[in-house]
Amino acid sequence: MRADTLRLVTRAYRFMAYLTGVMLIILCFIGVPLRYLAGIPGPAEVVGAIHGVLYIIYLIVAFTMTRMVGMRMLSVGTFIVLLAGILPVLTFVIERWATRTYIKPALAAAGTGPREQPVLR
């Protein structure tokens, strides 16, 4: 069951990293300029609240992922993964780094690598 749980948690982490990153980009590059340059505060308030909720969910999922792939709790890598949702575009970069460095080796060790399709002849 650990292999299936690991696969589920890593997929949830990757999904939340992309979702949190997209919402932060929308907030920073659309919501904030509309608020301060055009005087329209509505979009920034709505997108900011959504990003805040998504970031909390991201923190929970990312922390769970770091525990399951074997990252040390007080390591710099763990803090970088957890704080990636506060700078625009950083979640995308850190997700790729975490996938290469920790997630793929953990999935390979658990025997949940890419599934091969049967050859049809």
Domain ranges of the chain: 2-110
List, for residues 11-36, the tens digit of each pLDDT value.
999 999 999 999 999 999 999 999 99
**What's the CA gap between 96 and 69, in Å, rounded?**
14
Tell if the pTM clears 0.95, that is, is over it. Answer: no
Distances (CA, A) of 48 to 10, 30, 76, 121: 25, 11, 27, 53
84 contacts 3 by C-beta, under 8 angstroms: no
